[in-house]
Chains A and B, each alone.
Chain A
Amino acid sequence: MDLSDYRSDEFFDELIGPGGRPRAAARAAIKYLKGLDDDELAERKAACELAAMVAGITFRVYFEDTGVDRAMPFDLIPRVIALKEWQQIEAGLKQRVLALNRFIDDLYNDQQIIQDGVFPADLLEGSVNFREHCRGISPPLGIWAHICGSDLVRDGDGTVYVLEDNLRIPSGVSYMLENRQVMKRVFPELFEDSGIQPVDDYCSQLYDTLASLSPRPVDYPGVVVLTPGMYNSAYFEHAYLAQQMGVALVEGRDLLVDDNDEVWMRTIAGLSRVDVIYRRIDDDFLDPEAFRKDSVLGVPGLMRAWRAGKVALANAPGAGVADDKVVYAYVPEIIRYYLGEAPLIDNVPTYKCREPEEMAYVLDHLDELVVKPANESGGYGMLIGPRSTRKEQKQFARLIQADPRNYIAQPTLALSTCPTFVQGGVAPRHVDLRPFILSGLHTYVTNGGLTRVALKAGSLVVNSSQGGGSKDTWIVDTGGA
């Protein structure tokens, strides 16, 4: 692999430091890759692709008549992070998720944070993910978001920020696990004494987390994964996790709630009790008795069973209330309020349009900021200042003034880059990182996470649905202090 022309000057590069020298944690990997000639690399790339296909690392567009799986693009140059740096990030993530869980629990119960004037009451009133049905509930261990996927980005100076917290049904962990399998198969030599931290224990950690929520004190609680079905684009992941945990993958129609508010699944040996449901269905579709009446994916009475404490749902319904861009803007305050600590990882600097001075600043700098509405996802309804027209900016100014509560603004980020194979060699491409945080009896953070990479030159879009790919992420113990 030839890196002699590799330059990523304006951005922070994850592997190559200033002056073209590999960063300490990446030294062994870079040295090894540099030692491979073009033929060897091509061979490894082909082996990688084959292994990925064979392993079925795919996501599925089942409305295509053929039903052929589409492979997730995978780049074989790993993204490397030093263990020491990662440990700080890990502590920051644990802190953040702990505070967010306290916050959600408070919102559905005493709302102390509002009474104390730290979180504005009107923000809650405007929240689309707040669920009235959850008022007065305290789920097992007081935890609402058992599985959280927080997106991290690194800015030009190398600082790591949280870009958003996904507290509803974050996905992508199966790609993280499969990427590692592929890399181990294709580069066994690299793994021999490189001090790469393992990721394989995620599924057993997930199982333990789920089992710890069981409302019944039994040795083998009934744990299931609830999927909307095989037409869902993340079905691969649902099936994968169920398989790896050795639990049943069920659809709504496989479950029923009896008059005693207990949940059962229909098996060939009769009804079998279900204690914990890792649900991969949105709140809206979970229970037609409580939410959308037209849902055929859910289970009638499930909310009743959950409220009665007869079944645990992960994530708990209503956890999405903290998965809101305006709530995000308050997370540093939320951490200080509940934990009395300073946040270990910062938010991306965020302007809240509901604060008059901040709004004034936003309106003055629309051409350089990214403006986001509170509850849209997937990049909808955003203004990307530097790429917008005067007309769009005027239109957004009107939108913000009409509903300031609903908007935040952030500076455009210079996302860090990572060397990536492209047509004709290796070039810098922007990356982000989604670690997964499990909260149950114990808290667990994946060693690294899923690195997503924008495969188009200059693009900041890392979503797989828009042509993004992924990389294996290595947390490397370089020894020493």
Chain B
Amino acid sequence: MLSRLADNLYWHGRYLERAEDLARLINVNANLNLDLPSGLSAGWLPLVRITGSAPLFKQLHDDHGERQVVRFLLSDERNPGSLRATLEFARENLRSARDLLPRELWEQMNALYLKGQEELSGPLSRRRRHEFLHQLILDCQQIAGTLLGTMSQDHAYDFILIGRYLERADMITRILEVRGYDLLPDTSEDLGPFESIQWMSVLKSLTGYQMYRRHVRTRVSGNDVLNFLLRDEQFPRSVMFCLRALEALLLELPGDDDQALRVVTRLQRQVHECELSGRRGSALAELMDQLQVELAAIDESIRQTWFGAGT
């Protein structure tokens, strides 16, 4: 297949995953803030940090209340990382490759984009916002389901999924980095109720709370949450799961340059072997930073191997 189309589909996968993750983050953060006493509330700024757009946000706003942050993340035209822009990029990247894909996939993406443009063109009340973001997550899942259920598992399919898993792994590390930073030191098994709520919110932003409960233990502890979200091999929103999926997908692709594959297996080893206990604050941030550098290296080697033929 053409490199250009592979490139577009890869980015479609990334943007659509990003849109879904953004929606999850905003809804979970809103819930968390309602549960925490105002003195302990993490507020909204962490979300700006997770999306890596803090410098731009600071240029535009002095205040970082809910209204400013949510508008910035959802619909601000000056923010190229807004949900609205992300949906547009997801659609644009799909459009040129329409003839490689099931028709329903394009139609669902187009419908989602149009809905996003309409809903995000004006201010959203909190209740409408929650409803809209919840539906958006479902719509993204519907698109993922259509892909899984109707598309031949050819290279076009592989590239969409590679984008999706790489983006997802990246988002998990960002959430852990920023959230880990905000959390109180993990002193013992005897967690303060509010810290427990914060770790729960980390799980919930990845829809991992219930699975954590079923597969780990009934109590929420910092180390266990970290371990679950980094290393669990069965939960689809853990870093290790994403890396295993990437490994399998990359093996499908043509060419004998296995540079991307090598970075993936190296990263798997790192995730497997890194020491987690007691990692909080800057030590956790440092680890997540390392993982993100490796994820960027995977992106770079994918780009060089498959998107840049002959250039």
Contact = CB atoms under 8 A, between A and B. Distances in A.
Contacts of B290: none
Contact of A266 (B4, B114, B155, B159): B4
Contacts of B254: 268-269
B310 interface: yes
Contacts of A243: 99
Interface stretch (A192-200, A245-253, A438-446): A245-253
A267 B3 contact: yes
A256 interface: yes
B99 A268 contact: no
B4 to A, nearest CB: 5
Nearest to A251: B4
Nearest to A224: B2
B253 interface: yes
Nearest to A268: B306
A229 B307 CA distance: 19
A270 interface: yes
Contacts of A229: 96
A268 B309 contact: yes
B95 interface: yes
B79 interface: no
A239 interface: yes
Contacts of A265: 2
A268 B98 contact: no
B274 interface: no
Interface in B86-127: 95-96, 98-99, 103, 110, 114
If over half of A's interface residues share one DSSP class (helix, strand or loop), that class is named, otherwise mixed; here it is: mixed
B3 A268 contact: yes
B215 to A, nearest CB: 37
Nearest to B311: A266
Interface string B140-162: 00000000000000010001000
A254 interface: yes
Nearest to A271: B310
A230 B310 contact: no
A264 interface: yes
Given A250-B2, A268-B253, A269-B255, A239 B309 contact: no
Contact of B255 (A66, A253, A264, A270): A270
**Chain A residues touching B, range:** 20 to 34
A479 interface: no
Contacts of A249: 99
Nearest to B155: A268
Interface string A147-186: 0000000000000000000000000000000000000000
B310 A264 contact: yes
Interface string A225-262: 00001100000000100110000111101101000000
Contacts of A256: 310
B285 interface: no
Given A256-B310, A270-B255, A271-B309, A239 B4 contact: no
A67 interface: yes
Nearest to B310: A271
Nearest to B306: A268
A239 B155 contact: no
Contacts of A230: 95-96
B6 interface: yes
Given A230-B95, A270-B309, A67 B3 contact: no
Contacts of B110: 67
Given A268-B254, A269-B255, A271-B310, A66 B114 contact: yes
Interface string A266-286: 111111000000000000000
B191 to A, nearest CB: 49
B34 interface: no
A56 B104 CA distance: 12
Interface string B1-15: 111101000000000
B3 to A, nearest CB: 4
A266 B99 contact: no
Given A230-B95, A243-B99, A248-B2, A268 B310 contact: no
A254 B4 contact: yes
A269 B311 CA distance: 14
Given A67-B110, A256-B310, A268 B1 contact: yes
Contacts of A56: 103
Contacts of A253: 4
A401 B155 CA distance: 63
A239 B255 contact: no
Contact of A268 (B96, B114, B255): B255
Contacts of B253: 268
Given A266-B310, A268-B255, A269-B254, A254 B2 contact: yes
A478 B307 CA distance: 56
Interface string B155-179: 1000100000000000000000000
Interface in A45-78: 56, 66-67
Among B2, B6, B103, B114, chain A packs the most CB atoms within 10 A around the CB of B2
A155 B311 CA distance: 56
Contact of B3 (A66, A239, A242, A254): A254
Contacts of B159: 268
A153 B95 CA distance: 38
B108 to A, nearest CB: 15
Interface in B250-281: 253-255
Nearest to A270: B309
29 contacts: A56-B103, A66-B114, A67-B95, A67-B110, A230-B95, A230-B96, A239-B99, A242-B99, A248-B1, A248-B2, A249-B99, A251-B4, A253-B4, A256-B310, A266-B2, A266-B310, A266-B311, A267-B3, A267-B309, A268-B1, A268-B6, A268-B155, A268-B159, A268-B253, A268-B254, A268-B255, A268-B307, A269-B255, A270-B310
The 9 A-B residue pairs whose C-beta atoms are closest, nearest first, are A266-B309, A269-B254, A268-B306, A266-B3, A268-B6, A271-B310, A239-B99, A243-B99, A254-B2
Interface of B: 1-4, 6, 95-96, 98-99, 103, 110, 114, 155, 159, 253-255, 306-311
Given A229-B96, A267-B1, 4 more contacts: A266-B2, A267-B2, A268-B253, A268-B255
